[in-house]
Amino acid sequence: MQRWAAEDGTLWALEPGRGLPAACEARAPVAFAELPPAEVEALAAALSLDDLAPLRQRFADGRRCFVMRADGQIAAYGWVTRGAECVGELERRFHLHNDEAYIWDCATLPAWRGRRLYSALLNQIARHIAGEDLARIWIGASLQNRPSIRGIANAGFEHVLDLSYRRFHRLSAMWIRRVGAAPRPLLAAAYRILLQPHERRIGRMIVGYRS
Protein backbone atom coordinates (compact mmCIF):
# COMPACT_ATOMS: atom_id res chain seq x y z
CA MET A 1 0.00 0.00 0.00
CA GLN A 2 1.32 3.43 -0.91
CA ARG A 3 2.00 5.83 1.95
CA TRP A 4 -0.61 8.30 0.72
CA ALA A 5 -3.44 8.76 -1.81
CA ALA A 6 -5.45 11.71 -3.09
CA GLU A 7 -8.39 12.01 -5.48
CA ASP A 8 -11.01 14.65 -6.25
CA GLY A 9 -14.05 13.19 -7.93
CA THR A 10 -17.64 13.67 -8.90
CA LEU A 11 -20.57 11.24 -8.80
CA TRP A 12 -23.61 11.25 -11.09
CA ALA A 13 -26.76 9.15 -11.32
CA LEU A 14 -29.79 8.47 -13.44
CA GLU A 15 -33.02 7.10 -11.99
CA PRO A 16 -35.16 5.54 -14.75
CA GLY A 17 -38.28 5.77 -12.60
CA ARG A 18 -38.06 9.56 -12.79
CA GLY A 19 -37.89 9.48 -16.58
CA LEU A 20 -35.27 8.75 -19.21
CA PRO A 21 -33.11 11.47 -20.75
CA ALA A 22 -33.71 12.63 -24.28
CA ALA A 23 -31.73 10.83 -26.94
CA CYS A 24 -28.21 12.19 -27.44
CA GLU A 25 -26.84 11.71 -30.93
CA ALA A 26 -23.19 11.45 -31.92
CA ARG A 27 -21.80 13.79 -34.53
CA ALA A 28 -20.82 10.84 -36.72
CA PRO A 29 -22.59 7.79 -38.19
CA VAL A 30 -22.20 5.14 -35.48
CA ALA A 31 -23.95 1.99 -34.35
CA PHE A 32 -24.52 1.10 -30.69
CA ALA A 33 -24.41 -2.50 -29.48
CA GLU A 34 -23.54 -4.71 -26.53
CA LEU A 35 -20.28 -6.51 -27.23
CA PRO A 36 -20.63 -10.28 -26.72
CA PRO A 37 -17.77 -12.08 -24.95
CA ALA A 38 -17.03 -13.96 -28.17
CA GLU A 39 -15.92 -10.67 -29.75
CA VAL A 40 -13.40 -9.74 -27.08
CA GLU A 41 -10.65 -9.90 -29.71
CA ALA A 42 -12.20 -6.94 -31.52
CA LEU A 43 -11.99 -4.80 -28.38
CA ALA A 44 -8.44 -5.92 -27.68
CA ALA A 45 -7.45 -5.01 -31.24
CA ALA A 46 -9.02 -1.56 -30.92
CA LEU A 47 -7.03 -0.99 -27.71
CA SER A 48 -3.83 -2.52 -29.12
CA LEU A 49 -3.79 -5.08 -26.31
CA ASP A 50 -1.85 -8.31 -26.69
CA ASP A 51 -3.09 -9.90 -23.46
CA LEU A 52 -6.81 -10.75 -23.64
CA ALA A 53 -6.92 -12.35 -20.18
CA PRO A 54 -8.01 -9.24 -18.23
CA LEU A 55 -10.85 -8.53 -20.66
CA ARG A 56 -11.96 -12.15 -20.63
CA GLN A 57 -11.93 -12.10 -16.83
CA ARG A 58 -14.24 -9.10 -16.82
CA PHE A 59 -16.78 -10.99 -18.90
CA ALA A 60 -16.34 -14.11 -16.75
CA ASP A 61 -17.13 -12.01 -13.66
CA GLY A 62 -20.43 -10.87 -15.19
CA ARG A 63 -19.39 -7.43 -16.38
CA ARG A 64 -20.80 -6.19 -19.68
CA CYS A 65 -19.25 -4.08 -22.42
CA PHE A 66 -21.07 -1.70 -24.77
CA VAL A 67 -19.56 -0.15 -27.86
CA MET A 68 -20.08 2.40 -30.58
CA ARG A 69 -18.90 1.23 -33.99
CA ALA A 70 -17.95 3.54 -36.83
CA ASP A 71 -17.22 2.08 -40.25
CA GLY A 72 -17.50 -1.34 -38.64
CA GLN A 73 -14.71 -0.63 -36.12
CA ILE A 74 -14.99 0.01 -32.38
CA ALA A 75 -14.74 3.75 -31.84
CA ALA A 76 -15.90 4.01 -28.20
CA TYR A 77 -16.63 1.59 -25.38
CA GLY A 78 -17.81 1.41 -21.79
CA TRP A 79 -18.27 -1.25 -19.10
CA VAL A 80 -21.26 -1.88 -16.83
CA THR A 81 -21.35 -3.71 -13.50
CA ARG A 82 -24.26 -4.83 -11.37
CA GLY A 83 -23.02 -5.69 -7.89
CA ALA A 84 -19.73 -4.76 -6.24
CA GLU A 85 -17.08 -2.95 -8.29
CA CYS A 86 -13.62 -1.74 -7.30
CA VAL A 87 -12.90 1.96 -7.80
CA GLY A 88 -9.15 2.16 -7.53
CA GLU A 89 -8.87 5.95 -7.51
CA LEU A 90 -10.99 6.07 -4.35
CA GLU A 91 -9.53 2.88 -2.84
CA ARG A 92 -12.90 1.29 -2.25
CA ARG A 93 -15.59 -0.99 -3.60
CA PHE A 94 -18.98 0.34 -4.60
CA HIS A 95 -21.51 -2.07 -3.10
CA LEU A 96 -24.57 -1.67 -5.26
CA HIS A 97 -28.03 -3.02 -4.63
CA ASN A 98 -29.39 -5.59 -7.06
CA ASP A 99 -31.39 -2.88 -8.83
CA GLU A 100 -28.38 -0.59 -9.39
CA ALA A 101 -25.69 -0.49 -12.07
CA TYR A 102 -22.35 1.28 -12.36
CA ILE A 103 -20.84 2.51 -15.65
CA TRP A 104 -17.04 2.65 -15.70
CA ASP A 105 -13.87 2.45 -17.82
CA CYS A 106 -15.30 4.32 -20.80
CA ALA A 107 -13.24 5.82 -23.59
CA THR A 108 -13.34 7.08 -27.14
CA LEU A 109 -10.50 6.10 -29.43
CA PRO A 110 -8.34 9.10 -30.41
CA ALA A 111 -9.40 9.15 -34.08
CA TRP A 112 -13.05 9.63 -33.10
CA ARG A 113 -12.79 12.17 -30.28
CA GLY A 114 -14.60 15.48 -30.54
CA ARG A 115 -17.67 13.95 -32.19
CA ARG A 116 -19.78 13.43 -29.07
CA LEU A 117 -19.43 9.64 -29.16
CA TYR A 118 -18.87 9.48 -25.40
CA SER A 119 -22.09 11.33 -24.61
CA ALA A 120 -24.03 9.23 -27.10
CA LEU A 121 -22.55 6.01 -25.72
CA LEU A 122 -23.49 6.83 -22.11
CA ASN A 123 -26.96 7.92 -23.18
CA GLN A 124 -27.52 4.72 -25.15
CA ILE A 125 -26.21 2.52 -22.34
CA ALA A 126 -28.53 4.19 -19.84
CA ARG A 127 -31.54 3.92 -22.09
CA HIS A 128 -30.70 0.30 -22.93
CA ILE A 129 -30.24 -1.03 -19.39
CA ALA A 130 -32.99 1.13 -17.86
CA GLY A 131 -35.49 -1.52 -18.90
CA GLU A 132 -33.78 -4.13 -16.72
CA ASP A 133 -35.65 -3.17 -13.53
CA LEU A 134 -32.98 -0.71 -12.46
CA ALA A 135 -33.67 1.94 -9.84
CA ARG A 136 -30.38 3.80 -10.38
CA ILE A 137 -27.48 3.94 -12.79
CA TRP A 138 -24.27 5.47 -11.42
CA ILE A 139 -21.19 6.94 -13.06
CA GLY A 140 -18.23 8.90 -11.72
CA ALA A 141 -15.28 10.89 -13.00
CA SER A 142 -12.24 12.75 -11.79
CA LEU A 143 -12.91 16.44 -11.26
CA GLN A 144 -9.90 17.19 -13.44
CA ASN A 145 -11.43 15.30 -16.36
CA ARG A 146 -13.60 18.11 -17.72
CA PRO A 147 -14.35 16.42 -21.09
CA SER A 148 -15.70 13.37 -19.26
CA ILE A 149 -17.85 15.52 -16.99
CA ARG A 150 -19.29 17.39 -19.98
CA GLY A 151 -20.05 14.07 -21.65
CA ILE A 152 -21.85 12.73 -18.57
CA ALA A 153 -23.96 15.88 -18.34
CA ASN A 154 -24.77 15.77 -22.07
CA ALA A 155 -25.88 12.16 -21.70
CA GLY A 156 -28.57 13.21 -19.20
CA PHE A 157 -27.13 12.11 -15.85
CA GLU A 158 -27.83 14.08 -12.67
CA HIS A 159 -24.95 15.60 -10.73
CA VAL A 160 -25.24 14.23 -7.19
CA LEU A 161 -22.05 15.19 -5.36
CA ASP A 162 -18.39 16.13 -5.55
CA LEU A 163 -15.85 14.63 -3.18
CA SER A 164 -12.27 14.94 -2.01
CA TYR A 165 -10.52 11.79 -0.78
CA ARG A 166 -7.25 11.82 1.13
CA ARG A 167 -5.32 9.03 2.85
CA PHE A 168 -2.07 9.13 4.79
CA HIS A 169 -0.81 5.73 5.90
CA ARG A 170 -3.85 4.00 7.44
CA LEU A 171 -5.94 7.10 8.15
CA SER A 172 -8.35 8.36 5.47
CA ALA A 173 -10.97 11.06 5.08
CA MET A 174 -13.49 11.93 2.40
CA TRP A 175 -15.29 15.26 2.21
CA ILE A 176 -18.67 15.25 0.43
CA ARG A 177 -20.21 18.27 -1.26
CA ARG A 178 -23.84 17.97 -2.32
CA VAL A 179 -24.51 19.49 -5.73
CA GLY A 180 -27.61 21.46 -6.70
CA ALA A 181 -31.02 19.98 -5.98
CA ALA A 182 -30.08 16.30 -5.89
CA PRO A 183 -32.92 14.58 -3.96
CA ARG A 184 -32.05 13.50 -0.44
CA PRO A 185 -32.85 9.79 -1.11
CA LEU A 186 -30.40 9.89 -4.02
CA LEU A 187 -27.77 11.56 -1.84
CA ALA A 188 -28.31 8.93 0.87
CA ALA A 189 -27.84 6.19 -1.72
CA ALA A 190 -24.57 7.82 -2.79
CA TYR A 191 -23.29 7.77 0.80
CA ARG A 192 -24.29 4.11 1.03
CA ILE A 193 -22.23 3.00 -1.96
CA LEU A 194 -19.26 5.13 -0.88
CA LEU A 195 -19.08 4.07 2.79
CA GLN A 196 -16.77 1.13 3.51
CA PRO A 197 -16.89 -1.33 6.46
CA HIS A 198 -13.84 0.26 8.11
CA GLU A 199 -15.24 3.80 7.78
CA ARG A 200 -17.67 5.98 9.68
CA ARG A 201 -19.79 8.87 8.46
CA ILE A 202 -19.68 12.11 10.43
CA GLY A 203 -21.99 14.64 8.80
CA ARG A 204 -20.62 15.31 5.33
CA MET A 205 -17.35 13.57 6.09
CA ILE A 206 -16.39 9.89 5.89
CA VAL A 207 -13.40 8.90 8.01
CA GLY A 208 -11.65 5.57 8.23
CA TYR A 209 -8.74 3.70 9.71
CA ARG A 210 -7.40 0.43 8.35
CA SER A 211 -6.12 -1.78 11.19
Which CATH number fits the domain that encloses residue 173? Answer: 3.40.630.30
pLDDT category at 162 given cuts 50, 70, 90 is: very high
User: Averaged over 95-121, what is the pLDDT?
Assistant: 96
Q: Rounded to two decimals, what is the model's pTM?
A: 0.96
Structural domain of residue 182, as residue ranges? Answer: 4-209
Give the residue-averaged pLDDT of 147-156.
Answer: 97
Among the residue ranges 67-71, 146-150, 176-180, the one predicted with the least confidence is 176-180
Q: pLDDT at residue 175 above 90? A: yes
- Core vs surface per residue 48-68: b (16+ CB within 10 A) or e: eeeeeeebeebbeeebbbbbb
What's the number of domains the chain is made of? 1
10: closest CA among 122, 117, 165?
165
pLDDT at 211: 86
Average pLDDT on 143-157 reads 97
